[in-house]
Structure 1
Amino acid sequence: CPHAGKAVQVVRLHLLKMNVAADEKGNQGTFTIIYNQGFEVVLAGYKWFAFFNFTQVGTVVTSLCAETRAGWVHDVLGRNWACFRGRQVSVHNGFYFSPDGITAEVHLSTRWLYEHNAAFVQRVNDAQRSWRAVRYPLYDGLSLGELTRRAGGRASRIHGRPKPAVVTEETRRLASSLPTSWDWRNVNGINYVSPIRNQGSCGSCYSFSSMAMLEARIRILTNASQTPILSTQQIVSCSKFSQG
């Protein structure tokens, strides 16, 4: 989409709790926040997508999440494309953070150091069998602020999470045919999972997870006769929908 151009139409959308999107004509749809990168709105037969705006000076990137870069809008069948820019014009009552309000908390997080908690790890493992929590020595000595950056930012605070659906007899019947556990790292002695790569300071977790999934699928498809390690940088640098 071009970075400049005269607007031919103005549309006002309301993004409401929890994921409801509405327009001034009474139509309702949904919206999805895509990590801290942007959002998609599906409403009245159309899909809107845009990245949040940002500025960059050298290696310092500042997110401007109250406005978007040039985005795309089209109908749900992928036709009738147009470009748009969005900006926040009002704030609904609710919970939100401002950079000034968390300055003190961020300052403290740079001073608090991570400490391994063996008892907590054991409680996690005692509570479930689907995966095993372990200690990661590379995190020893890092501040909580550094760990927060590695995790991609502050965790969201959802008040009143939806309750899980009631388990039906049909679901129980289907579940009874499943094995009690499954590990793709050991299927009759064969490991279909590619080696874990350290993401480091790269914020494109979707690239690492997508490539790891594709590597595993190739291993499964070829019965582990092909074990490629695919480029995570290729998605970031070469996709026209990426900000790399």
Structure 2
Amino acid sequence: MIFFSASLLSSIFLLLLLCSSDTPANCKKDDVLGKWKLEIGKFTSETNVHCSKIDKVKTEDTMEIYLAEPNLVTDPSNKAIGTWTMIYVEGFELSIGKYRYFTLFNWTSSEDNTETFDCHNTVQGWVRPDIRNISEIACFTATKMPRNESDPASHHYYKNDYKDFDSLRRRTKKSYETSNSMTIDWSDKNGHNYVSYFIDEGNCKSSYAIAAAGMIESRISIGSNDSLDYSLSVQELISCNDYSQECKGGHAIEIGMYVMDHGLVDQKCLPYYSLNQTDAKCSDRCKYPRATVFVKSYSYVGGFYGRCSVSHMEEALEKGPIVARIDDTVPSFLDYKSGVYKMKDDEKVGRLTRSVLVVGYGQDEKEGPYWKIKNSKGTKWGEGGFARIYKGNNTLGIETAAEQMVPDNDAYLNNKNIVNNPYFWAMIGVSCFCVALIVGVIILLIAISRTRKSVKAANAINEQYSSFQPRYS
């Protein structure tokens, strides 16, 4: 008989509580493949629209599409018009023409904390231009339509001729072997540390935001051939980002959407509230940040959810750290201290609820290949805040859903260069106006003072002549 200590049981309960799903949805690929109807509202120049939190907008346009294997979006005539990806098991994003459509599957929570979800209907999501720093946005909903066998395109979408997403999530320990014996470590690359400082997430389930910000920071530093001296605002990604669930969780790919659409300010502009997130407000963000960072693109490693692999992760890591999802509630992982972590034979991977920054990979002579990850529990956890996870058998689900972004280094460097920062010129303009105003006031005061002296002198002369009496009459 196996006995568990009270502390271990309480730890497991606490982790299960904190690491509950980002949304309760748990939709499979087969639930999503097929015909969908999109109802799209009116575009607005107000880009901070809270689509998922407002009443359903009036439909201005509709679109019928098909979601197909492996990641194609087609129209009813079977013509490919874009691509798509699941957002883990909670939603999807479409890329059609010049626009991106992101939404989550509908879910409800009752008073007794019972949660239900609907894989055939979505909450109200967002339509945005496929550019950085968007200037317009619209809300939309999606509803899956009944299957129609007479549809000429239906065979293309219900044929399981591609490796199923869900089978990838359930890989066994002997699924495949590691493909590369090389070593990459961005925390010590040729004597440089391209990995930012550690943040303890505290009582907020913000690992997704911390890991995503760390990935962008590192990739900016690597791309600029400079040592890391810039920290991004994790708090903005929690307090200002409607695409995620604030302190209830989210995904790095949703962070990529936000940073591409709106940009991300530096940490000093909105610091992280590790102790009391209720004090954090998006409105507290400073008006004139030192710099605003954008990303050019974001994606799942491998191109779309379900295509991640060891070789794809190794390839992505050549350009910098990536984000991976893990199930950190596996009992044997709760007590991790050091070494290359391996799951026990009787342990299974559940829902992937924690995001970690994968900073490299290597080979331990005794314990085998590993991924090196950076957690968000501070430096007292694991190996100084890092951990090594066995590589090649999807330990903790780490090889299931890795995510990556490509920072817009040109935009970052232009903003970092104060001469090219529009806020700098705005402040110069304001300063020049103030200086001109002050100089003008000084000149006016001097003129007034001189006028008063002239008037006073003239009055004195007038008084002198008015008192003069002639000798001769």
TM-score, normalised with respect to structure 2: 0.29
Quote the offset at 1:62 in angstroms.
3.9
Say yes or no: does 1:237 pair with 2:302. Answer: no
Letter in 2 for 1:87: T
State the AA in 2 paired with 1:32. Answer: T
Q: Matches of 1:210 and 1:196 in 2, distance apart? A: 13
Structure 2 SS opposite 1:7: coil
Q: Unmatched 5+ residue regions in structure 1?
A: 96-101, 103-108, 110-116, 132-181
Q: Which residue of the other structure, out of 81, 93, 96, is the alignment partner of 1:40?
A: 93
Instruction: Please tell me whether residue 14 in structure 1 is matched to residue 14 in structure 2.
Output: no
Deviations, residues 3-42 of structure 1 (Å, cap 9, x unaligned)? 2244344322110111111123654221122223322222
| Cα separation, partners in 2 of 1:48 and 1:90, compared to 1, 3 Å | same
Please tell me whether residue 31 in structure 1 is matched to residue 93 in structure 2.
no
Where does residue 93 of structure 1 map in the other structure? Answer: 158
User: What's the RMSD between the two structures over aligned residues?
Assistant: 4.3
Corresponding residue for 1:166?
Answer: none
What is the CA-CA distance between 1:87 and the residue it aligns to? Answer: 1.3
**Percent of aligned pairs with the same amino acid:** 30
Structure 2 residue runs without a partner (length 5+): 1-50, 148-156, 161-165, 247-473
CA distance, structure 2, for counterparts of residue 199 and residue 124 of structure 1: 34
Q: SS at the partner of 2:182?
A: coil
* CA distance in structure 2 between the partners assigned to 1:203 and 1:11 by the alignment: 36
**Does the 8 Å contact 1:15/1:21 carry over to 2?**
yes
SS in structure 2 opposite 1:86? strand
Distance 2:117 2:202 in 1: 21
* Cα gap change, 1:64 to 1:195, in 2 (>3 Å): farther
1:194-223 Cα deviation digits (max 9, x unpaired): 467788998765423212224435766663
Q: Is 1:223 aligned to 2:227, yes or no? A: yes
Change (3 A) 1:67 1:16: same
For residues 126-154 of structure 1, the C-alpha deviation after alignment (integer angstroms, 9 at most, x for no partner) is: x52235xxxxxxxxxxxxxxxxxxxxxxx
Contact 1:52 1:66 in 2 (8 A): yes
Mapped partners of 1:218, 1:75: distance in 2? 24
Q: CA deviation at 1:231?
A: 5.9
Match of 2:422 in 1: none
* 1:67 lines up with 2:121 in the alignment: yes
User: Quick check: 2:129–2:136 contact (8 Å CA) kept in 1?
Assistant: yes
Determine the C-alpha separation between the residues in 2 that align with 1:89 and 1:34: 20
Give 1:70 deviation, angstroms.
0.9
Report what 1:183 is aligned to: 185
Give yes or no for contact 1:47–1:74 (8 Å, CA) kept in 2. yes
CA distance in 2 between counterparts of 1:18 and 1:44 reads: 18
Match of 1:193 among 195, 201, 205: 195
Q: In structure 2, how many angstroms separate the alpha carbons of the residues matched to 1:199 and 1:35?
A: 22
Conserved 8 A contact 1:22-1:43: no
Aligned to 1:82: 138
Pairs aligned (count): 169
For residues 52 and 184 of structure 1, the distance between their equivalents in structure 2, rounded to whole angstroms, comes to 36
- Specify the structure having the higher radius of gyration (Cα): 2
Where 1:207 maps in the other structure, the secondary structure is helix
Q: Distance in 1 between matches of 2:55 and 2:159?
A: 32
Distance 1:94 1:200 in 2: 46
Change (3 A) 1:187 1:21: closer
Alpha-carbon distance between aligned partners in 1 of 2:216 and 2:139, rounded to the nearest angstrom: 32
Q: Structure 1 residues 75 and 218, CA, compared in 2 at 3 Å: closer, same or farther? A: closer
Q: Which has the higher contact order (CA 8 A, sep 6+)?
A: 2
Rounded to whole Å, the distance in 2 between the matches of 1:46 and 1:80 is 11
| Post-superposition offset of 1:88 | 1.4
SS of the residue corresponding to residue 208 of structure 1 reads: helix
TM-score (norm 1): 0.50
Deviates more, 1:11-20 or 1:214-223: 214-223
Separation in 2, partners of 1:195, 1:79: 33
Moved more, 186-195 or 46-55: 186-195
What letter is aligned with 2:64?
A: R
8 Å CA contact 2:193–2:227 kept in 1: the answer is no
